[in-house]
Structure 1
Amino acid sequence: MARKYRHLLPALAATLILGYGPAQAQSVNAGDREASSSQPFAVETLANFNTPWAMAFLPDGRLLITEKPGAIYLVSQSGEKTEVGNVPAVLASGQNGLLDIAIAPDFGTSSRVYYSYVEPNEGGRLVLASATLAISDAGTTLADNAIVWRQTPAGGRGQPGGIIAFDPEGKHVFLSVGDRMEPASAQDAAQARGKVIRLNLDGTVPSDNPFAGQGDVQDMTWTTGHRNPYGLAFAEDGRLWLHEMGPQGGDEFNLIEKGSNYGWPVVSNGDEYSGAPIPDHDTHPEFAAPAVYWNPVIAPAGLAFYDGELFPDWKGSALIGGLRAQALVRVAFDAEGRPDEAERWAMGGRIRDIAVAPDGAVWLIEDAGNGRLMRLTPGD
C-alpha cells in the first residue's frame, strides 16, 4: 500500500463495518481498443460554443447547453441559440465553472431544471441548484433559483464532479462529487468529496440512505471512494452507472450500488502521475472493482444510455465521450448484464457530453473554445 495512505486504515475499517459492498466480478481492461475512422453515422455540426460542458433535452426537442465560463443557452433543433438570463456567477478556473444541467422529473408541470456549478466564494464550493425555466416572447431566464445542496467543507482545486441523475421513479436526485484534488478526502466520511450523494428533490435527506442519521455528510452519502466522476446515469433496467477518471491510467466504469466503497485513493488500476504505483483493485477485495477500466485512459466525460430508434443496434448501450481519446465510445451489455467496450469511433475532438434527442438522434458537444455541437444520424 502506498505509504501516504496508511493513515486511512482505521477509517477504512470503520467504513467496512458500516456495510460497504464486496468486490464485483473480474474487471475488463478496454484501454488498448483502437478508435475506428469508419463511422456508421453522419455528423452534422449545428453550432459552436465557448467551452461547452453539458446539455439536456426538453420534451419539445429543444435543448439546454451550459458553457463552463458561466452561460446557459436554449438551442433549437437547427442550432439557433438563445442565451438564458439570471445565471449565477461561477468560479471559472481550470476544471471548475458552470457544470451539468438536467431536466426535473416533473418538468412538464413544474418547468424546473437542476444545474451544478462551482461558486466563486469560500475557495470554490460545488453547488447543486434548481430553478424555473421561464420561456416567453421577452426572452428565457432562470426564475426562483434555489440552492439544493452545497459542498461541505468548502474549497478544493479541480475535479469537482457535479453530474446530476434522477432515479427512475423521479423521487431522488443523485450528484457525483469529485475529490477536489484532495485524494484522502474520498475516504473521509465527514467530507463531501469523492462521493455520490442522494437527496430528495428539495435537498432533504431520504430516510433510507445507507448511513442516514450518522451526521451531515454521512446522511446524504450513497457511495464513496471516487476520484473524478464525470458520468452518472441510470440504465433502462434501473441500475445506476458512473464513470470516473483515474490518475495515470485506470479510468473506471462502475456499477453504483447502495453503500459501496470504490477504493480511491487506496486502490486504482492506474499509477500516480509521479510513476509511483497504487495497489490494484484485486489486491483489496473489500472495495468494489470497476466493471470496465481503461489503461491507457480515454478520459471519459458524458454518459447516456441509448433508448432511441434510429440506431437499433445500440439499444441499451452506454455512450461515453472520450476527452483524451477524442472519441465516442459505445459500451454494450451481455445477456447477464456485464458491460464491455463494443465500439470506439474517432471524432476529431475532445467529446465532453452526450445526449439522446427525442427522435433518437445522438448529440455531442466538443470540449474546446469554439466547441462544436454535433448531431449524429444514420448514414455514411
Structure 2
Amino acid sequence: MIISRISVTALLAVIATPTMAQTIETSAGPLTATVIADGLDHPWALGFLPDGRMLVTERSGQLRIVADGVVGEAIAGTPEVYNQGQGGLLDLALAPDFAESWQIYLTFSEPAASAGLQRGQGTAVLSAKLVLEGDGGRLEDSEVIFRMNKFTTTNRHFGSRVVVGNDGNLFVTLGERGDQDRAQDVSDLAGAIVRIAPDGSVPEDNPKPHGWAPELWSKGHRNPQGATVRDDGVLFTVEHGARGGDEVNMPQPGANYGWPVITYGVDYSGIAIGEGTEKAGLEQPLHYWDPSISPSGLDFYDGELVPAWQGDLLSGGLSGQVLVRLDMEGDAVVGEERLFEGQLGRIRDVRVGPDGAIYLLTDADNGQLIRVAPAGS
C-alpha cells in the first residue's frame, strides 16, 4: 500500500458507473472486474490520494488524476522522458507523509541531454511536490535524486519500480538494459535493486560487499517490473526472464540473484543461457514461471473485502494477460491461482486500494483502470 487505509467513502464516491463488468469464480468466491476509467495511454502505475482520487502515470509522459471515472488533464511539470520501446514515464510512489507534504516520487527513462550526457538513456528517479488544481495541477520543487550510472542507447529493460521501505528509504528496481552481462558487474547499477534515501543519498546501512557500488542492495536481476514491501519491511519483487524464467524474489542485502549465470529460462532463439539453474553463491527465486507471463506490478493483499487472501501476493501478467494470486506461507510461495486469464488484456500494475478492492491498469493505447471486488462491494 502507498498510504494508510483512509478515505474509503471518498474512494468509493469516485468510482464511475460500470462500463464493463466480468465476474469469475475464484478460491475466495465470485469476483467482478469493473472498468472504472479508460482512454489512458499505456498507463504504468497507480496511486491513491487521501481524498479518494487516483493518480496514474502514462508511459508517454503524462501524470493524470482520475476521479468519477474521468481522466483529468495532464499535470504540468513532469520530466522529459525517452518514450520509445519500453521507456517512458514509469512508476510512482507517495511519500509516507504525503497527506502533509504532497511529496511524490516518479521513475522514468531519462534522455541523455536531460542528464547532461552526450548519448543514450537510463532510469532515473524524480522527487517533486504535487499541487492539485481542478482536475489537473502541477509538480513543484522537482529534483532528479537518482539516475543509473551508465546510460546506453537500447530501448528496453529500464525496470522500474520505486517503493518506500518502512524506514522511509526508497527501493528502486533497474533492468540490465538488454545487456545481460551488466547484471553481474557490481560497479554498474543496471540489473539491480538500489536503495537510496529520500534525498537520493546513500543510507549508511546499505550492504557493502567488496567492489559494490554504494547504492546497490542486490544484483543479478534481469528486468524487475514489480516491487512491494511487506508489513514487516521485507522487499519482494517480480522480474521478467527471457523465454521462461520469470521470477519472484525476496531480495536480501548484498545478495546476487544470478542473471545471466543461472536462470530457469532460455534465450528467445531457444539456446541455453548461462550455466544452468543453480550455482553456489547465487540465490534461488522463491517462485518462477515457465512459460513466461511477463509479471508486472506487485502488491500484498491486506484488505477486508477478500479475507481469504490476506497476506498473499498479487501480480499482473503482460504476455500472460492474467492476474496471479500467489498463496504465501511465511516467505514461501505454496500455491498459485490465475484469474481473468485472457479476459482483461495486458496487466501492467496491481494495487490494493484503501477500500480493500484490487485495482489493475492495462497496458494498451486505450488503457483501462479496473476494480476487482466481490459483487456489490
Q: TM-score normalized by structure 1?
A: 0.85
RMSD: 1.9
Q: Distance in 2 between matches of 1:304 and 1:77?
A: 24
Q: 1:281·1:289 contact (CA, 8 Å) conserved in 2? A: no
Counterpart amino acid of residue 372 in structure 1:
Q
Query: Match of 2:132, as an amino acid?
Result: I
What whole-Å deviation, never above 9, does each CA across 1:234-267 have from its counterpart, x for those lacking one?
A: 1123221111000111000011111100010111
Equivalent position to 1:338, from 332, 340, 343: 332
8 Å CA contact 2:316, 2:322 repeated in 1? yes
1:350–1:280 Cα change, 3 Å: farther
Structure-2 residue corresponding to 1:106:
97
Contact kept? 1:269, 1:280, Cα under 8 Å: no
Given that 1:116 and 1:127 are in contact with CA atoms closer than 8 Å, whether structure 2 keeps it comes out as yes
Q: What is the 5 A alignment of 1:1-380? A: 38=25, 40-48=30-38, 49-76=40-67, 78-121=69-112, 122-137=119-134, 139-157=136-154, 158-170=156-168, 172-211=169-208, 218-279=213-274, 282-334=277-329, 336-345=330-339, 346=341, 347-379=343-375
Deviation at 1:99, TM superposition (A): 0.5
SS of structure 2 residue aligned to 1:109: helix
In structure 2, runs of 5+ residues without a counterpart are 1-22, 113-118
**AA paired with 1:68?**
R
Task: Give 3-state SS (helix, strand or coil) of 2:36's partner.
Answer: strand
CA offset digits 1:149-174 (Å, max 9, x no partner): 0111112421000200111132x001
| SS of structure 2 residue aligned to 1:218 | coil
CA distance, structure 2, for counterparts of residue 281 and residue 312 of structure 1: 40
What's the CA shift for 1:60?
2.3
Structure 1 residues 185 and 312: alpha-carbon distance in aligned structure 2, compared to 1, 3 A threshold: same
Task: Give CA deviations for 1:188-217 in whole Å, capped at 9, x if unaligned.
Answer: 1121100100011100011111128x77x7
Moved over 2 A (4+): 36-40, 77-83, 136-139, 278-283
Would the alpha carbon gap of residues 289 and 138 (structure 1) be closer, same or farther in structure 2, given more than 3 Å must change?
Answer: closer
Range moving further from structure 2, 137-146 or 83-92: 137-146
Give the letter aligned to residue 334 of structure 2: D
* Greater RCO, 1 or 2 (C-alpha within 8 Å, sep 6+): 1
Report the count of equivalent residues.
341
* Structure 2 CA distance for partners of 1:135 and 1:97, relative to 1, 3 Å: same
Equivalent in the alignment of 1:21:
none
Q: Normalization by structure 2: what TM-score?
A: 0.86
Shift of 1:137: 4.5
8 Å CA contact 1:61–1:77 kept in 2: the answer is: no
Look up the match of 1:29.
none
